[in-house]
Structure 1
Amino acid sequence: MDLAGKRVLVVGAGVSGQAVCEFLQAKQARVTLTDARTREQMGQVADQLSRRGINLILGAYPTVSQESYDLLVVSPGVPLTVAPVAQAAASGVPVLGELELAYHFARAPIVAITGTNGKTTTTSLIGQMFREAGYKTLVAGNIGLPLVSEIENYTADDIVVAEVSSFQLETTRHFSPKVAVILNITPDHLDRHGSMEEYIRAKAQIFARQKPTDWVVLNYDDPNTRELAGDCPSRVIFFSRRHILERGSFVQDGKIMVADQSGPREITGVDSLRIPGSHNLENALAAVAAGHVMGLAPADIARTLGRFTGVAHRLEYVATLNGVDYVNDSKGTNPDAAIKALDAYDVPIVLIAGGKNKGVSFQEFAEKIKEKVRVLITVGIHGYQIEEAAREQGFTNIFPARDYPHAVQLAYEQARPGEVVLLSPACTSWDMFKNFEERGELFKKLVLELKDKA
């Protein structure tokens, strides 16, 4: 892809958009960055971009045609329905996402991970597996570091492990990882994709252009994922927490196993895992399958499984106050993720939940709340929807909170020794925060302040 002299419009000035601009400038493209926010709203970021020589069109989008631009790169958080993207598609201007752009310059084999839940944990685990096995490894993508920022620093002898979202996948045209992993598919982002069918279609783009010699790792226990096997142009390997497989990774007699044409072999004991919950066992099984098909030795896989302690904001232990454990699961941004978090504990839970709903039902979440939660504290713009769903299930021990300081204080007052205070919102953070990281950091700060006072 020759970008020198090309007129490129980048839509969206978030972390991904800024990284794309820097990459395009290095390729001597003529870069314009546009964002719906005004210069005042963007503040210092706009000033920094201007100083780097990037043309900015802020507060309103420019009109896109073949006469004005040669290429449009859209950031993942920007819906494909916005005017410049729609105009580009209608006028024949190519539309790419950052993931697709990075792929055109990739030399290293890519292991790509998607799914509704567990992406970041599994991506981090697989990345650590390859690093500890001696590979120069890039861990990037939706996990926080844009792929385009580092992709050219890795050769065919290295490994790229990429977390990819449905938003990134829906703008791919050639993206084809060596190994594609789909962890699970449950209702999420329906406000963006419009239907479950479209959401699944976006996820399936991860393997759509693979070669017959490539691999796709699928969750045998998840019907939406298992049924994709018939559409895969590549080789399929399953993982299962509930079934013993002839080919794939699975659990047998408390052992994590992997089987191929040579038969089954033991990797390690389930009890050696340091990440809690059955969902994390599934994440580990997916990582085992991916590592196995890429040729990692069982001993290397087992070593990392015994060392990996998880990622920030995902069932992250914060502190113990008065015999109560406080756990940050701010990354639980949908009901299915929060259900998995609740299932990770076998003690009574004081749950803090709420935020911005993504157009999904809270019914199953409410059923799990009735089963596992002793006290529910709701917060955020759609916290009332979780409260209503819980009351429909006959659960009434609910305390609405004004904000996060109030929510943490309520949890502190209500929790009893031996219980867990769990932040697992089942919603996005966008009503009150920039992202789930900011939400989780505030929760941790508030908890540690309480500990200092205790």
Structure 2
Amino acid sequence: MKTLEKFPYQHVLVLGLAKSGEAAATLLHESGIQVRVNDQKPYEDNPQAKTLTQKGIEVVTGGHPLSVLEGIDYLVKNPGIPYTNPIVQEAEERGLPIVTEVELAYRLAEGPIIGITGSNGKTTTTTLTYEMLQESKRPVKLAGNIGKVSCEVAQSTTDKDTLVIELSSFQLIGTETFKPHIAVFLNLYEAHLDYHKTMEHYGYSKAQVFMNQDEGDYVIYNADHEDVTNYVKQAKSQPIPFSTTSYQPEGVWKDDEWLYLKQEKIVRLEDIMLVGAHNMENIMASVAAAKLSGATNDGITSVLKTFSGVKHRMQFVKELQGRTFFNDSKATNLLATSKALSAFDTPTILLAGGLDRGNEFDDLAPYLKNVRAMILFGETAPKLQELAQNNGIEQSIIVDNVKQAAEEAYRISNKGDVILLSPACASWDQYRTFEERGDMFMEAVHTLE
């Protein structure tokens, strides 16, 4: 495994554990750098803290005392910790560099990096790009917000490996020198304003994916999104636009039969299994990133013929007695659910609900035209039932959980219906993660007869 060489800092604080913090602390320690770790969770309930202590790393748990900054010249922050945290604020006042582990991954990686960001579609685009390169027999590794810690994966890469990284705004705002050879900026919608406070800061954070690029690099971007296009005007790298609505002679576009990169036919539209207009954007971005990284048209087509979605994101689950089930548990906001609903022009039973963050659901109304029933659960069930009633949906039923929702949806369904779990809410009122929620739904579906 590789370690950091010529690292310009000697005393590093890793703030916050979870997978990324543990990986960063371990890497720094193995690189001969003095590391201190600070985590909110008490030591007795903190297995990661115990593991790091056994490696000889100093760990301070149970709170965030300012004393942990003593002697520190570099701060590696868990992406989820806000900049309002007292330790982070004090570090800023002291002029310390504040980064996320993605910065460490960049310092380790020898081969080209594809960095993929956007408000929606990151996981699908990242997975597609990775699989297209794999299918084309290109050496490639997958990392980032998709569940694999970047600095951990980067330790095992060579100069021949392409590293495909899914990047959140939380990760990107904590970068200094990070420079992917290919940057992908999918879209920009209002999100995470509890963290970023303003859309300007949120957009600026996303734009860090290309800010350090130069003329030898590429930025693939959504030409149908004005805000994205305006940000990309700042890039020094070569622009590769994609559009589902207009001809892009220097990028990715489509006609009624083919998807093109510039003037080259890449894949027939009829060969693409993944449904939804939003997924066409993800596909276009993936095609551009993969082709620029050496993927073949045969490899790209092979993936698109069989890829039906990543787990919990518009994932086909099963067809039963003429009913088709989709798991979109990762749809934790209105935008994601509206895109899911837009993917179908058949009668749909929507399963939705979850954590109540105080928002209303009126923005979903234009997307309910094919929804004939709603099965609702969680804290927001009453609000969503009111939405259903206000939009002429005669059947809106509140149940206790997604297992019951799957069973009830099947009970009232007709042949030809789509049964769609797309909650429009976070899962934390009832489930630890959206994955747990989606898994319960799929288990329930597979027991139906």
Which whole-Å CA distance do the structure 2 matches of 1:281 and 1:190 have between them? 27
After superposition, the Cα gap between the structure-2 partners of 1:64 and 1:417, relative to the gap in structure 1 and judged at 3 Å, is farther
Which whole-Å CA distance do the structure 2 matches of 1:40 and 1:410 have between them? 42
Q: How does 1:138-287 map to 2 (within 5 A)?
A: 138-259=141-262, 264-287=263-286
Which whole-Å CA distance do the structure 2 matches of 1:408 and 1:83 have between them? 44
Residue identity matched to 1:78: I
User: Which residue pairs with 2:34 in the alignment?
Assistant: 30
Residue identity matched to 2:416: G
Residue identity matched to 1:23: L
Which whole-Å CA distance do the structure 1 matches of 2:67 and 2:393 have between them? 53
Of 116, 120, 123, 2:123 maps to 120
After superposition, the Cα gap between the structure-2 partners of 1:166 and 1:89, relative to the gap in structure 1 and judged at 3 Å, is same
Tell which deviates more after alignment, 75-84 or 425-434.
425-434
Which whole-Å CA distance do the structure 2 matches of 1:209 and 1:254 have between them? 37
SS state of the match for residue 126, structure 1?
A: helix
SS state of the match for residue 411, structure 1?
A: helix
Which whole-Å CA distance do the structure 2 matches of 1:79 and 1:90 have between them? 15
Is 1:20 the equivalent of 2:5?
no
Residues 241, 251 of structure 1: 8 Å contact kept? yes
User: Which residue pairs with 1:328 in the alignment?
Assistant: 327
After superposition, the Cα gap between the structure-2 partners of 1:385 and 1:58, relative to the gap in structure 1 and judged at 3 Å, is farther
Deviations 1:111-137 (A, max 9, x none): 111111111111111111222222210
User: Which residue pairs with 1:319 in the alignment?
Assistant: 318
Which whole-Å CA distance do the structure 1 matches of 2:113 and 2:200 have between them? 26
Of 56, 61, 73, 2:76 maps to 73
Which whole-Å CA distance do the structure 2 matches of 1:312 and 1:289 have between them? 23
Residues 360, 383 of structure 2: 8 Å contact kept? no
Which whole-Å CA distance do the structure 1 matches of 2:405 and 2:57 have between them? 43
Tell which deviates more after alignment, 246-255 or 30-39.
30-39
SS state of the match for residue 281, structure 1?
A: helix
SS state of the match for residue 155, structure 2?
A: helix
Of 414, 439, 442, 1:441 maps to 439
Which whole-Å CA distance do the structure 2 matches of 1:69 and 1:385 have between them? 48
Tell which deviates more after alignment, 229-238 or 176-185.
229-238
- The total of aligned residue pairs comes to 445
TM-score by length of 1: 0.91
User: Which residue pairs with 1:91 in the alignment?
Assistant: 94
After superposition, the Cα gap between the structure-2 partners of 1:364 and 1:13, relative to the gap in structure 1 and judged at 3 Å, is same
1:301 positional shift? 3.0
After superposition, the Cα gap between the structure-2 partners of 1:384 and 1:31, relative to the gap in structure 1 and judged at 3 Å, is farther
Residues 12, 35 of structure 2: 8 Å contact kept? yes
User: Which residue pairs with 2:417 in the alignment?
Assistant: 419
User: Which residue pairs with 2:398 in the alignment?
Assistant: 400
Residues 190, 359 of structure 1: 8 Å contact kept? no
Which whole-Å CA distance do the structure 1 matches of 2:235 and 2:360 have between them? 30
Percent of aligned pairs with the same amino acid? 36
Deviations 1:230-267 (A, max 9, x none): 222211111111111221111112211111xxxx1211
Deviations 1:401-436 (A, max 9, x none): 333333333323332222122111122223333322
Residues 64, 84 of structure 1: 8 Å contact kept? no
Residue identity matched to 1:109: P
Residues 7, 70 of structure 1: 8 Å contact kept? yes
Structure 2 residue ranges without an equivalent (≥5): none
Is 1:10 the equivalent of 2:14?
yes
1:387 positional shift? 3.9
1:168 positional shift? 0.5
After superposition, the Cα gap between the structure-2 partners of 1:307 and 1:320, relative to the gap in structure 1 and judged at 3 Å, is closer
Tell which deviates more after alignment, 345-354 or 306-315.
306-315
